[in-house]
């Protein structure tokens, strides 16, 4: 989209969805997911479809293909694709369109490629299956697409199986798969959400270029505003299955009209002033660690954590962030080095630590869902550490649980609920209460907001900051999201391939000059400016500096 300034010419109307209503089946009833949404897309136009999870973006995106996923049904509305009424078509007619004129790029390429077949066979399956091209020709074309998408070794990478290539490469291969039949419309369903920021930049650029090159129309579904700003000509905001606002991308970014849209835009404004202290509560000292093999997952890692402050550990997946947490908690005894807590060395292995030592370091996890026993009520979940560490029982136990619920801004009515009766944000709050129950001095937060929507994220972050002030708790905050880091941290540790690249106060780390890797990481974080990606790619080309290879 060289002319992403709005001059890009939109063609004829390609997709016209009117008053779409979709229902989903759960708990034995049909309940509405999409409540009368309209969507118009012209040839060659890219629409950003944004909203929080549960807003119905994916459901609406798939409906644009005339498809309702199992457990859903389209109950009302019309879907006109290039003059054809998709809702009047039978399955066989729809299959003719799918993979030939309308293609789909899924959120997790790693899960959406069949593990049993080679990449190239999957990439050309639809094209060949629909009889658009003979297999050899389609494969030759796929190799060209691999090259256009800047996949390494484009002639041979297709012969690999999905598990043999990285996530970023798979996502690009999936774009090649969608492009293989030269469709008129591609649905991108959160295609970069599962990727590291440095990889995301490349995938975004590749997708943008190829959509531009073939003048393909696209619906780009995401919850990330900054990403949508780079990709879309027009933006549609969804909430609770209804359209909140529709506007050209630039206008929407500059002057959102609706309150809800403004709130989405405003979330990233949370910033905590940095503080520090000389009182070191935890020191990770020259730690090497491995998972049994000869490869060091952590290489001479030293991190100081001052009492009462928040130290954010940032880096890509595989950089050793979570392994550091496992070493501190004793889940993974290091090969060498030690961990000092309040100036005392902690026993390296979990089983050698005393109950007191265990109590003082608690952990909160990324997936609140899987971190709680689904058969336990909130009372059991929060009560367990109270009984185990503090020996509370009876009335005292109940009072304390109720107190903890108050701290996390929930009331006593939650006591008897099971985890599946809670929203994502509430689940994470319960996990926070569970860790607080032990009266810890240090809480390790491992990507605790990554699975949450931005507004919910903000609530959780505010809660964590408030609790920190009230109880002087120290956080070790593991994340890959720089916006979260800006919001919550005092100090930042940058990790890359198992080693600490940089450690220091937030303002120092976030302001130049940066070491190469920090520079790459920071510059890869999408910004709301629609020209950000274009500008970044140009500056990287000129600078010729460290390339953002996510492989």
Partner 1 sequence: MHPIVRTVLQRLGLGLLTLFVVSVIIFSSLQFLPGDFATSVLGQAATPETVAAFRRELGLNDPAITRYAQWIGGVLQGDFGSSFSGRSQGREREVMELIGPRLWNTLFLAGMTAIIAVPLALTLGITAALYRNSFYDRAVNATTLTTISFPEFFVAYILILVLATLWKVFPSLANVRESTELADRIYMTALPALTLTMVIVAHMMRMTRAAIINLLASPYIEMARLKGVSKSNVIIKHALPNAWAPIVNVIAFNLAYLVVGVVVVEVVFVYPGVGQLMVDAVTTRDIPVVQACALIFAATYILLNLFADIVSIVTNPRLLHPR
- Interface contacts to partner 1, rule CB under 8 A: 62, 65, 67, 69-70, 91, 94-100, 103-104, 106-108, 111-117, 125-126, 129-130, 160-161, 163-164, 177
Residues 48/231, Cβ–Cβ less than 8 Å:
yes
Provide the edge-to-edge strand list for the sheet that holds 344-345: 298-306, 280-289, 336-341, 344-345
> Residue 370 Cβ, how far from partner 1 at the closest point, in Å?
18
What residues does 50 pair with on adjacent strands? 222, 237
Residues 6+ apart with CB under 8 A from 396: none
Structure tokens at 50: 């944004």
Q: Helix, strand, coil proportions of the chain in percent (round to 5)?
A: 40, 25, 35
> Residue 99 Cβ, how far from partner 1 at the closest point, in Å?
4
> Residue 182 Cβ, how far from partner 1 at the closest point, in Å?
14
* CA–CA gap between residue 358 and residue 368 (Å, rounded): 20
* CA–CA gap between residue 53 and residue 254 (Å, rounded): 24
> Residue 186 Cβ, how far from partner 1 at the closest point, in Å?
11
Structure tokens at 498: 């198992």
Residues 6+ apart with CB under 8 A from 292: none
Decide whether 112 or 324 has the Cβ nearer to partner 1. 112
Residues 6+ apart with CB under 8 A from 435: 362, 363, 364, 385, 443
| Residue appearing with tokens 């293609």 | 103
Residues 37/20, Cβ–Cβ less than 8 Å:
yes
Decide whether 220 or 475 has the Cβ nearer to partner 1. 220
> Residue 98 Cβ, how far from partner 1 at the closest point, in Å?
4
Annotate 278-334 with DSSP letters as a single string: S-EEEEEEEEEE-SSSSS-SEEEEEEEEETTSEEEEE--TTSSHHHHHHHHHTSS--
| Residue appearing with tokens 């080693």 | 499
Residues 315/495, Cβ–Cβ less than 8 Å:
yes
> Residue 393 Cβ, how far from partner 1 at the closest point, in Å?
43
Decide whether 161 or 532 has the Cβ nearer to partner 1. 161
* CA–CA gap between residue 61 and residue 420 (Å, rounded): 26
Decide whether 169 or 457 has the Cβ nearer to partner 1. 169
Residues 187/221, Cβ–Cβ less than 8 Å:
yes
> Residue 171 Cβ, how far from partner 1 at the closest point, in Å?
13
Largest Cα separation within the chain, whole Å, is: 75
Decide whether 96 or 343 has the Cβ nearer to partner 1. 96
Decide whether 109 or 235 has the Cβ nearer to partner 1. 109
DSSP label of 232: -
- Report CA-CA distances (Å) from 411 to 372, 375, 380, 437: 19, 20, 15, 16
Structure tokens at 481: 């999201």
> Residue 497 Cβ, how far from partner 1 at the closest point, in Å?
17
Decide whether 94 or 147 has the Cβ nearer to partner 1. 94
Decide whether 108 or 357 has the Cβ nearer to partner 1. 108
Decide whether 74 or 431 has the Cβ nearer to partner 1. 74
Decide whether 86 or 444 has the Cβ nearer to partner 1. 86
Decide whether 70 or 391 has the Cβ nearer to partner 1. 70
> Residue 62 Cβ, how far from partner 1 at the closest point, in Å?
8
Decide whether 59 or 435 has the Cβ nearer to partner 1. 59
Residues 289/332, Cβ–Cβ less than 8 Å:
yes
Structure tokens at 394: 């009876």
* CA–CA gap between residue 463 and residue 482 (Å, rounded): 19
Decide whether 74 or 237 has the Cβ nearer to partner 1. 74
> Residue 161 Cβ, how far from partner 1 at the closest point, in Å?
4
| Residue appearing with tokens 């999957």 | 122
> Residue 94 Cβ, how far from partner 1 at the closest point, in Å?
8
- Report CA-CA distances (Å) from 265 to 238, 258, 509, 528: 14, 11, 25, 9
> Residue 133 Cβ, how far from partner 1 at the closest point, in Å?
15
> Residue 181 Cβ, how far from partner 1 at the closest point, in Å?
9
* CA–CA gap between residue 116 and residue 120 (Å, rounded): 12
């Amino acid at each position: 989209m060289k002319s992403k300034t709005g001059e890009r010419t939109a063609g004829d109307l390609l997709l016209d969805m009117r008053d779409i209503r979709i229902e989903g089946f759960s708990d034995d009833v049909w309940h509405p997911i999409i409540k009368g949404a309209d969507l118009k897309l012209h040839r060659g136009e890219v629409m950003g479809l944004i909203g929080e999870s549960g807003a119905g973006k994916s459901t609406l995106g798939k409906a644009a293909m005339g498809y309702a996923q199992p457990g859903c049904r389209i109950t009302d509305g019309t879907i006109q694709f290039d003059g054809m009424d998709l809702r009047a078509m039978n399955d066989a007619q729809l299959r003719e369109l799918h993979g030939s004129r309308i293609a789909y790029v899924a959120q997790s390429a790693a899960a959406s490629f069949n593990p049993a077949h080679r990449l190239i066979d999957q990439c050309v399956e639809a094209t060949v299956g629909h009889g658009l091209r003979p297999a050899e020709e389609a494969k030759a074309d796929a190799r060209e697409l691999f090259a256009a998408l800047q996949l390494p070794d484009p002639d041979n990478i297709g012969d690999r199986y999905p598990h043999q290539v990285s996530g970023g490469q798979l996502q690009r291969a999936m774009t090649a798969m969608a492009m293989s039949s030269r469709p008129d419309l591609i649905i991108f369903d959160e295609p970069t959400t599962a990727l590291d920021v440095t990889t995301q930049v490349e995938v975004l650029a590749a997708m943008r270029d190829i959509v531009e090159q073939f003048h393909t129309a696209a619906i780009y579904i995401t919850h990330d505003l900054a990403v949508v700003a780079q990709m879309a000509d027009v933006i549609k905001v969804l909430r609770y299955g209804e359209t909140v606002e529709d506007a050209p991308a630039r206008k929407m970014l500059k002057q959102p009209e609706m309150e809800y849209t403004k709130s989405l835009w405003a979330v990233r404004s949370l910033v905590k002033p940095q503080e520090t202290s000389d009182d070191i509560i935890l020191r990770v000292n020259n730690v090497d660690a491995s998972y049994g093999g000869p490869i060091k997952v952590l290489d001479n890692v030293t991190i100081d954590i001052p009492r009462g402050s928040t130290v954010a550990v940032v880096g890509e997946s595989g950089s050793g962030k979570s392994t550091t947490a496992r070493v501190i908690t004793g889940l993974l005894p290091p090969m060498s080095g030690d961990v000092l807590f309040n100036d005392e060395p902690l026993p390296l292995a979990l089983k050698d630590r005393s109950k007191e030592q265990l109590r003082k370091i608690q952990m909160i996890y990324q997936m609140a869902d899987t971190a709680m026993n689904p058969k336990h009520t909130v009372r059991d979940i929060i009560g367990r550490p109270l009984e185990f560490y503090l020996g509370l029982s009876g009335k005292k136990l109940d009072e304390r649980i109720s107190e903890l619920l108050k701290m996390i801004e929930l009331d006593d009515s939650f006591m008897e609920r099971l985890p599946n009766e809670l929203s994502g944000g509430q689940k994470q709050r319960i996990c926070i209460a569970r860790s607080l129950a032990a009266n810890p001095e240090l809480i390790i937060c491992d990507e605790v907001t990554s699975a949450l929507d931005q507004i919910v994220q903000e609530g959780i972050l505010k809660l964590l900051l408030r609790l920190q002030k009230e109880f002087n708790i120290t956080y070790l905050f593991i994340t890959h999201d720089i916006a979260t880091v800006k919001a919550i941290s005092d100090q930042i540790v940058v990790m890359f391939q198992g080693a600490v690249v940089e450690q220091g106060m937030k303002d120092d780390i976030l302001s130049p000059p940066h070491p190469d890797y920090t520079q790459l990481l920071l510059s890869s974080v999408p910004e709301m400016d629609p020209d950000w990606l274009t500008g970044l790619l140009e500056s990287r080309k000129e600078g010729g500096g460290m390339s953002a290879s996510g492989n």
